[in-house]
Amino acid sequence: MKKIIINVILALAALGALSLSLLCAVNNRVLLSTADKIVSVEEAAVLEADCILVLGAGVNGEQPSLMLADRLERGMELYFAGAAEKLLMSGDHGREDYDEVNVMKEQAVAAGADPSDVFMDHAGFSTYESLYRARDVFLAKRIIIVTQPYHLPRALYIAEALGLEAWGVGAEGEDYFGQSYRNAREVLARAKDVLYCVAKPEPTFLGEAIPVWGDGNATND
């Protein structure tokens, strides 16, 4: 019996070591394969992208969280630098009492964006779904992704796997509360999305095409 227990422990230890090795390999692949796609605002300004995709984050009522506010600030900087004529705000609006994208559009318009230039993706429930819908609903082909630097490699990896030509610009800001947890979670999220990029499941919602070169007010609710 003792020998069986030892063998089980050794097998579990070996399995754990193998899983950790695979997790590290997947993360290294994501990080290394996207490093040259992370650019500065100045570099992004000459890329002639179809849109600037700002990925959603938490809101408190009608106010963006600090993390989202930094993303919006960077997105507007790119917009005014001429990196793209259109902004695509993609986030969670799955409930009446929680709405990231209208907050994002309101902030952008208050900062000087033309309302017709600001599209809202109400069903960007995850990074993968935001990129999938940017391609299939909004018909974007060349995009600039805005999110925090720790998140950019995964977003860029997904975009490439979905056939999008994408670059990323980091939204730099202060240290965010709980960032150590987010960094750890991101390691697992990269592995999950690598699997998604192989299987390519459809997002929760698709719907009729809303070309990003049109009028962003078509996405108003």
How much is the pLDDT for 12?
65
Amino acid identity, position 48: E
Phi–psi pair at 64, nearest 5 degrees:
-75, 145
Question: What pLDDT was estimated at residue 16?
Answer: 64
Other Cβ atoms closer than 10 A to 120: 27
* Predicted pLDDT at 153: 98
Give me the half-sphere count of Cα atoms (radius 13 Å) on the Cβ side of residue 159: 26
State residue 20's pLDDT score: 74
Round to whole Å and give the CA distance between 156 and 147: 11
Question: Which residues, 6 or more positions from 17, have their beta carbon under 8 angstroms from its beta carbon?
Answer: none
How far apart are the C-alpha atoms of 201 and 101, rounded to whole Å?
Answer: 23
Burial of residue 195, with CB atoms counted within 10 A of its CB: 0-12 exposed, 13-18 middle, 19 or more buried: exposed
Q: Where are the alpha helices (DSSP H) in 35-136?
A: 41-44, 66-81, 100-110, 127-136
Confidence (pLDDT) at 30: 95
* Residue 133, domain extent: 2-219
Q: What per-residue confidence (pLDDT) applies to 33?
A: 94
Structural domain count, the chain: 1
Report d(CA 20, CA 18) in Å as an integer. Answer: 5
pLDDT by 10s per residue, the chain, length 221: 777 776 666 666 666 666 677 778 889 999 999 999 999 999 999 999 999 999 999 999 899 999 999 999 999 999 999 999 999 999 999 888 899 999 999 999 999 999 999 999 999 999 999 999 999 999 999 999 999 999 999 999 999 999 999 999 999 877 788 888 999 999 999 999 999 999 999 999 999 999 999 999 999 98
- pLDDT of 59 reads 93
pLDDT value at position 214? Answer: 96
pLDDT at 172: 84
Pairing mode, if any, of strands 87-90 and 63-64? unpaired
The CATH number of the domain holding residue 82 is: 3.40.50.620
DSSP characters over 55-68: EP--EETTEE-HHH
Say if CB 115 and CB 216 are below 8 A apart.
yes
